[in-house]
Amino acid sequence: MIKKNLFNIDYLVFSSHKTATQSLVATFTNNNLRATHGHVLRHLDFKKGDFDAYVKEYSVKNNNRLNIVTVFREPVERCISSFFQSYGSDFIDFGHVSGIEETVLYNYNFNQLKELFLMEISGKKLRGYDESVDILFNELEINWREEIVNSQQYFKIIEKPCFKIYFIKFDRLINAFDETVSQLINRNEILSIQGNISKKKWYNDIYLNFKEKIRISPEIIDNIYEDKRSLINFFYPNEFDRLKNTIKELYQ
């Protein structure tokens, strides 16, 4: 059974790990809009196949379409950010360790962190490796190549009778957060809140040092990009090779 509170929202932010989901929800809430977020189906207490039934029931109960927001971030950068969030904050928040001194980030040196990270991304075992956009496309049976996509200045939109999905590029969102949200909710002025940012975390220095020193093989980057090829082509048409080569240069 679908939770009742999911029918009492204006926006569902269903977006991958480390794509500003908490900032979006906090900003919606700060502007008197009801919102919640999830990265995967279980965060909404859904099982496979529930999403389609949910948007249809939402539309009937509210006599309106559900607004869904999803953000796509360059996959290698997102993997690094997810790795640090998982081992630096989430393990504490979820009770796997009792404090900072017990975390992997606190106890491992750079080489140990590098080995763990490369093992997890090459094996696709990293928490948050999968993309929420893929889940949306699969659950709602969307083939974006066959859809009418309305491209706005800050995002793309696909509209159906029961839902409206806003597709946002992470780099665009971060560089123009207020402008993006303002256009999304159709308001000239907003009160924004940006949270869960790495530079405010206790592990920020470790994170920056890791990003500066880590080297990732071309083969691993190639495999990640092949996994995400369809989504990259959707969000960044004709830029697949440029994006991949930029990341290769950055981490070699």
- What b/e sequence results for 24-38 when a residue is b if at least 16 CB atoms lie within 10 Å of its CB, and e otherwise? bbbbbbebebebbbb
First to last CA, the chain: 49
Same domain, 82 and 53: no
Which whole-number Å values give the CA distances from 236 to 18, 29, 230, in the listed order? 19, 30, 10
**Residue 22 CB contacts under 8 Å (≥ 6 apart), including other chains:** 37, 195, 196
Residue 193 lies in a domain: no
Task: State the alpha helices, DSSP H only, in 31-88.
Answer: 50-62, 75-85
Q: Which tens digits make up the pLDDT trace of 176-222? A: 999 999 999 999 999 999 876 777 889 999 999 999 999 999 999 99
Q: Which domain holds residue 61?
A: 4-73+130-185
Residue 143 lies in a domain: yes
Same domain, 18 and 61: yes
Same domain, 143 and 117: no
Rounded to whole angstroms, the Cα distance separating 132 from 233 reads: 16
For residue 93, name the pLDDT band (cuts at 50, 70, 90).
Answer: confident
Number of domains in the chain: 2
User: What's the pTM?
Assistant: 0.94
